[in-house]
Every structure is written in structure tokens, then in C-alpha cells.
Amino acid sequence: MTDIAFLDAVRAFNRFYTNRLGLLAKGYLETDYTLTEARVLYEIGAHQRVSATTLVRELGLDPAYLSRLLKKFREAGFIEAEIDPLDRRAQVLHVTTKGLEEHERLGALSRRQLALELDGLDEAGRKDLILSMQSIRRLFETQTVAPAVTLRPHRIGDMGWVIEAHALAYARDYGWNEKFEALVAQVCSEFITRFNPDREHCWIAEREGQRVGSVFLVDAGAGVAKLRLLYLEPQARGLGLGSRLVEECIAFARASGYTTMSLWTNDMLTAAIRIYKALGFRLVAEEKHTMFGPECTGQTWELDLRQG
């Protein structure tokens, strides 16, 4: 079969399937909802309590579009919203009694529609259908790309993770002691205590709701922005995420009017140093130290933000 014939066959099946179940109809399941509206209401009802951020991630919806749908559901009395205690910029949605009844009604309508469509299948036909669906799902799941990594600002609980992740990783990989953990804790404490959102920022990288990376930009005074605590979990390495985090720092620093970006690292951190070199940083100082146990060579790198 040629590529064109294969693709046309898949398109033909898609047309058959969507038409058969009425997925493109203006009123899904002969209701006033579109398919997307029904799916969002179903997910809220299934979770009963869920953040808007989770819905965006799980359903792949545009945040602005989802916001309009949620407004419609609030006006209908299906959901209520409250401030997320872990991120006061976000909302937690919970389904009302009325919303749960609507969720259950849509579920019943969907099951009734499927029962009518499948009524003519005997037991052998039903088994064939299940096996075919399992095959389709298995084939697509093997082609699934790695989940996207998102970047967000820090929130309550993140600093504890940053400290623990750094301490465990550097002890495991380089034999560094608890003095390094103390240094990371100090950096995190000073960041929170002195935080100026107009001049400083923390990026937390997440994949499927799990933290996998971090970086901080802090004001060092005299027009200097300091990059601190660049970190990636092992499973997040090799994805270009390190460069992405550093680039976010550079863009923020330039937009905030800094003239120079500085960072301190150690010579064995070769992957991070490759990123700094590629983005235009230059080595300006080196010194040997034993602050964290083993002898290391500390390095200071700088980037002129007025160039490029």
C-alpha cells in the first residue's frame, strides 16, 4: 500500500467513526453541548476537584478557550471556583450537586448511544471490536512522543524540592557533603526573603505534573543579574531543557535592564558549561576549593547582555 493510499484509508475511517457517533454535530448527544464542552464537564465531574491548569495539560486545550467554557459552567451552576492554596494565581474547580447530576446525565446519554450503535453485534463481534480498539490504542501509544515540559514560576513547596534535589544529586554524582545542601538552602531562603518580582524570577520545569528542573535569576546589584541553581533531573536531560532554562534567564535579564549576567559553577559540570559557552558566556575567574568535601575548581562566567 502506498503512503497516499494508507493515509486516505485512515481518513476514511475517521470520517466513518466521527459521523457514526455524531462527534461533529453541533449538539453532542442531542444536547446543547459541543463535544469539547461535554468532555470538559465530564473531566470535572470525574475529578470532582481539579485545577484549571490540570485540565489544560490533560486535554490539550487553549487556556483562554477553557476559561470561556468554565465561565459558562459557573453561570450554569455546574462548578464553583476557589483560589488554589498552592498557587494563588490559579483556581481549583469543584463540581456542584447540579454539575454532578449533569455529568451523570451525559454519561447515561453516551452509554445509551453506544448501546444502540452496538446492539446488532453478537458476542464474537463484540470481542473483535474490543481487540481492534486495543490494537489501535497499542499502535498509537508506541508512537507517542515524550510528554511536553512546561515552565512555571515558583510556588509554596518548591524550595524544599530544590534543596533536596540538589543535595541528593550532587552527593550521589560528585560526593559533595551537607555543606552544599546548606548553601542551596541559604540561596533559596534569601531568594524568598528578598524576592523582587520585577527584578528576579524562578523557573520550575514540570513534566506530567512532576518537577524536573529549576533555575533562578537574582539581582546582584550594579546592573548584574546572577544565574543560580540550574538543575535537571536525570530523566529530563538530553531534551534541550538546560539551554531553554538559561535562555529564559537571559531574556528576563535583558527585559529587566541588566547589563551583565554572572554565574558560579564548578569545572566538573561539563554539560552545564557547554550550555554557557554556546550562549556566549565567557570564563572570567577560577579558584580551587574544598567547600563541599572533594577538591573542585570553581569558575565564574559572565555574559555581556548589551551584546546580541
Instruction: Look at the block and give the residue holding cell 528578598.
Output: 194
- Assess whether 298 and 164 both reside in one domain: yes
- Assess whether 195 and 106 both reside in one domain: no
Name the strand (E) or helix (H) holding 245: helix 241-255
Instruction: Look at the block and give the residue holding cell 515540559.
Output: 149
The CA dihedral of 33, 37, 43, 44, to the nearest 10 degrees, is -90
CATH number at residue 170: 3.40.630.30
- Assess whether 284 and 156 both reside in one domain: yes
- Assess whether 164 and 201 both reside in one domain: yes
What pLDDT digit, counting tens, does each position of 112-134 carry?
888 888 888 888 888 888 888 88
User: Which of 102, 123, 142 finishes a domain?
Assistant: 142
Query: Residue 49 is part of which domain span?
Result: 3-142
Q: Residue 203 and residue 211: Cα distance in Å, rounded? A: 11
Q: What is the pLDDT of residue 272?
A: 93
Q: What is the pLDDT of residue 59?
A: 82
C-alpha distance from residue 294 to each of 152, 185, 189, 286 (Å): 34, 20, 25, 16
- Assess whether 296 and 165 both reside in one domain: yes
CA 210 to the chain's CA centroid = 8
- Assess whether 68 and 189 both reside in one domain: no
Domain count, the chain: 2
Exposure b/e, 115-153, CB count within 10 A at least 16 = b: eeeeeeeeeeeeeeeeeeeeeeeeeeeeeeeeeebeebe
- Assess whether 111 and 168 both reside in one domain: no
Those residues of the chain that have pLDDT short of 50 are none
User: Which of 142, 164, 182 finishes a domain?
Assistant: 142
User: Which of 84, 107, 142 finishes a domain?
Assistant: 142
Q: Residue 254 and residue 251: Cα distance in Å, rounded? A: 5
Instruction: Look at the block and give the residue holding cell 539551554.
Output: 243
- Assess whether 128 and 158 both reside in one domain: no
The answer to whether the CB of 206 falls within 8 A of the CB of 149 is yes
- Assess whether 76 and 187 both reside in one domain: no
Pairing status of strand 260-266 against strand 282-289? unpaired
DSSP bridge partners of 203? 153, 215
Q: Residue 198 and residue 251: Cα distance in Å, rounded? A: 13
- Assess whether 117 and 177 both reside in one domain: no
What angle do the packed helices 35-47 and 97-117 form, to 10 degrees? 120
Name the strand (E) or helix (H) holding 106: helix 97-117
- Assess whether 207 and 246 both reside in one domain: yes
SS3 call for 47: helix
CATH number at residue 75: 1.10.10.10
- Assess whether 251 and 128 both reside in one domain: no
Tell me the residue ranges of DSSP E strands in the chain. 49-51, 79-84, 87-95, 149-153, 201-207, 210-221, 224-232, 260-266, 282-289, 296-304
Closest among 306, 196, 202, 213 to 260, alpha carbons compared: 306
C-alpha distance from residue 307 to each of 216, 223, 257, 263, 285 (Å): 22, 15, 13, 17, 21
Q: What is the pLDDT of residue 86?
A: 52
